[in-house]
């Protein structure tokens, strides 16, 4: 079986759905269930015998040691992290604790487990670390996209904590021989995306008649990838990636934030027109910029394409269509995640 950490978050839960739709191999899931972890994301799998869920922290050595001993996974996929840049600006402590110290503790548990495996199982074992393009810093408009060889120049506390975790993973391979793989992906979007992030926030605010907050001039560029494409890429890296290598994953979909928001508004105008017949784009509001806001991210995904034959299936247009429709079709999920703690965050960030 495989062990997935952060399985109740956005990408982790999509990965579990994608994996179980294609494999019979069971999945042990470990998640602390922070504000971002939501078991509703896995509710359709609640009675699936291939799924085991354990609530806990990746940094809890005793718990992780026991999990590994009990389930003997052949691979660990580490999705667990604090993931929202704006929260890292308000309070970086949790990011250091989970992304740096948590990853360190997880690596130590895994090293002890892996070292004691019989030779054949040791050779087949993999630790796959899921990371971000934000470790590379920011690009000017004419710069080539981030390649795996770009230096790390993280700019936010979130990016710095992820860069630190990537370095730890790299060092555990070079020093101890742990068979690791690292993926650095661009911005994901799709079902189960927590609405503190731009795309789901804009969909839900639009429908609720609230302002659509654009930081600064809205000309910051992100490279968007539909989450299922990311999940397929991770499965492919696990299957055939070269040990110790990093693979950049991206959608070849660079878009300015304002264009993304206008695209969402146009889809909503068609799928769920406003009662007054006016366009949703009227709700766009320019607000104070994010501190240290990175101007542009873009991924050069040629290595994973060349070595592993992966390419994204969705275009931005097809992915956004599916995403907007998913949020329209899942009002109970939306209601579940937008109560309580979420409201506090929105008040703190947007006033």
By beta-carbon proximity to ligand NAD, the closer residue of 80 and 178 is 80
Minimum CB–partner distance for residue 231 and ligand DAU (Å):
15
Q: Which does 33 bind (CB under 5 to 8 A by kind): ligand NAD, ligand DAU, none?
A: ligand NAD
Check if the beta carbon of residue 345 is closer than 8 Å to that of residue 196: yes
Does residue number 190 form part of the binding site for ligand NAD (CB under 6 A)?
no
Does residue number 37 form part of the binding site for ligand NAD (CB under 6 A)?
yes
- In the annotation, is 113 catalytic? no
Order of strands across the sheet that contains 221-226: 187-189, 221-226, 254-256
Which string of x and - marks every residue 56-95 that binds ligand DAU (by CB under 6 A)?
Answer: ---------------------------xxx----------
Interacting residues with ligand DAU between 199 and 238 (CB under 6 A): 201, 213-215, 220, 222
Residues with Cβ within 8 Å of residue 78, at least 6 apart in sequence: 5, 6, 58, 103, 106, 127, 128, 129, 130
Question: Alpha-carbon dihedral of residues 323, 325, 328, 332, nearest 10 degrees?
Answer: -60
Q: Which of 9, 154, 200, 251 binds ligand NAD (CB under 6 A)?
A: 9
Does residue number 161 form part of the binding site for ligand NAD (CB under 6 A)?
no
- In the annotation, is 133 catalytic? yes
CA 174 to chain centre: 26
Minimum CB–partner distance for residue 339 and ligand NAD (Å):
17
Tell me the C-alpha to C-alpha distance, in Å, between residue 216 and each of 21, 258, 260, 284. 41, 10, 15, 12
- Closest residue to ligand NAD in the complex (CB): 9
Exposed e or buried b per residue across 42-59, where buried means at least 16 C-beta atoms within 10 angstroms of its C-beta: beebeeeeebbbbebbbb
- Closest residue to ligand DAU in the complex (CB): 132
Q: Which of 57, 166, 229, 314 binds ligand NAD (CB under 6 A)?
A: 57
Number of residues engaging ligand DAU in binding (CB under 6 A): 19
Distance separating alpha carbons of residues 113 and 122, to the nearest angstrom: 9
Q: Which does 85 bind (CB under 5 to 8 A by kind): ligand DAU, ligand NAD, none?
A: ligand DAU
Active-site residue among 134, 196, 294, 300? 134
Distance separating alpha carbons of residues 285 and 306, to the nearest angstrom: 42
The residues annotated with a catalytic role in the active site are 133-134, 158
């Amino acid at each position: 079986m495989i062990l997935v950490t952060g399985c109740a978050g956005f990408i982790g839960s999509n990965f579990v759905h994608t994996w179980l739709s294609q494999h019979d191999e069971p999945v042990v899931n470990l998640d602390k269930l922070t504000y971002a972890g939501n078991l509703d994301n896995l509710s359709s799998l609640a009675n699936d015998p291939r799924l085991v869920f354990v609530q806990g922290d990746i940094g809890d050595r005793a718990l992780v040691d026991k999990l590994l001993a009990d389930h003997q996974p052949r691979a660990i996929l580490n999705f667990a992290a604090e993931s929202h840049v704006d929260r890292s600006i308000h309070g970086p402590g949790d990011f250091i604790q989970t992304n740096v110290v948590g990853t360190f503790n997880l690596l130590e548990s895994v090293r002890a487990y892996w070292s004691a495996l019989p030779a054949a199982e040791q050779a087949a074992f993999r630790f796959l670390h899921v990371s971000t393009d934000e470790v590379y810093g920011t690009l000017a408009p004419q710069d080539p996209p981030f390649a795996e060889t770009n230096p790390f120049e993280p700019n936010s506390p979130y990016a710095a904590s992820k860069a630190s975790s990537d370095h730890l993973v790299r060092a555990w391979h070079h020093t101890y021989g742990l068979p690791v793989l690292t993926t650095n992906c661009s911005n994901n979007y799709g079902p189960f995306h927590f609405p503190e992030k731009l795309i789901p926030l804009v969909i839900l605010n639009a429908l609720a008649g609230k302002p659509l907050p654009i930081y600064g001039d809205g000309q910051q560029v992100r490279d968007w990838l539909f989450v299922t494409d990311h999940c397929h890429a991770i499965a492919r890296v696990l299957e055939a990636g070269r040990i110790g290598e990093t693979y950049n994953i991206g959608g070849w979909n660079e878009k300015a934030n304002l264009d993304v928001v206008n695209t969402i508004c146009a889809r909503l105008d068609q799928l769920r027109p406003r009662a007054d017949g006016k366009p949703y784009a009227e709700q766009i509001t320019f607000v104070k910029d994010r501190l240290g806001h990175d101007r542009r991210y873009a991924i050069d995904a040629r290595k994973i394409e060349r070595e592993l034959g992966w390419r994204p299936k969705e275009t931005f247009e097809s992915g956004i269509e599916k995403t907007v429709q998913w949020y329209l079709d899942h009002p109970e999920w939306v209601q579940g995640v937008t109560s309580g703690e979420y409201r506090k965050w929105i008040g703190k960030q947007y006033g």
